[in-house]
Amino acid sequence: MMTSHLICGVDEAGRGPLAGAVFAAAVILDPANPIEGLADSKKLSEKKRDALAIEIKSKALAWAIASSSVEEIDEINILQASLLAMKRSIEALSLVPNEVLIDGLHCPKLSLPMRAIVQGDSKEACISASSILAKTARDANLYDLDKLYPAYGFAKHKGYPTPLHLQMLEEHGVLTIHRKSYAPVNKILNLKKGK
């Protein structure tokens, strides 16, 4: 029996926020079991994303979700941390893909045939699927953080630098889950130090 050409899509979620880990997902879709409605996760409602995430997990030939921590983001920068999360998600797959399609401009360091595709999450179904899994995993993580730190409003802003989040940072201070290398967080830390 001939094995089919396994194409894996990879995307990340959470490069812009001031708090929390950056997540990545890798998905190998089953061509014989298509999923309707796949699109860039940012263009879908949360309800639609959640429904599609369940479908992707049940129909895909393989999928994996990984992350890079706040400490890693601060140490190696957000681009490198995103690539590291992508690498981890690909390595965690139960199948080895023949080709990897990455959303964006950069590819992680792996000895697999890879292509970076700008706006790939709206061009390739497998990247759309990975963007949905990465986004839903990150959102779930932010809901958990919201329970731990209810004063900060993480369920509302998901860690992004909204006026509410910046106000909460100024009022309540910087948490261990905040990215210290990001300018708005760094500025508050320096103000607190009296610099």
Is 12 marked as binding a ligand? yes
For residues 90 and 108, the answer to whether their CB atoms sit within 8 Å is yes
- Kindly provide the residue ranges of all beta strands, DSSP E only, lying in the chain, ordered along the sequence: 7-13, 22-28, 62-68, 99-103, 114-117
* Contact between residue 137 and residue 56 where contact means Cβ atoms under 8 Å apart: no
One-letter amino acid for residue 132 of the chain: I
Cβ distance 64 to 28 under 8 Å? no
Question: Does residue 103 have a known ligand-binding role?
Answer: yes
- The answer to the question of whether 11 is labelled as a binding residue is yes
Binding residues: 11-12, 103
Binding residues for a divalent metal cation, by number, are 11-12, 103
